[in-house]
Amino acid sequence: MPKAIWNGTVLAESDRCEVVEGNQYFPLDAVKREYLKPSATHTTCPWKGIASYYDVVVNGESNRDAAWYYPEPKEAARNIKGHVAFWRGVKVEV
Q: What CATH number did the domain enclosing 17 receive?
A: 2.170.150.40
**How far apart, in whole angstroms, are the C-alpha atoms of residue 2 and residue 13?**
6
**How far apart, in whole angstroms, are the C-alpha atoms of residue 18 and residue 24?**
6
Terminal CA-to-CA distance of the chain, rounded, Å? 6
Report the number of distinct structural domains present in the chain. 1
Mean pLDDT of the chain: 98
Q: What is the pLDDT of residues 57-83, one digit of tens each?
A: 999 999 999 999 999 999 999 999 999
> In terms of DSSP bridges, do strands 83-86 and 23-27 run parallel, antiparallel, or are they unpaired?
antiparallel
DSSP 8-state secondary structure symbol assigned to residue 17: -
Decide: helix, strand or coil at residue 46.
coil
The domain in which residue 73 lies consists of 3-93
User: Cα–chain-centroid distance for residue 81?
Assistant: 11
Q: What is the pLDDT of residues 29-53, one digit of tens each?
A: 999 999 999 999 999 999 999 999 9
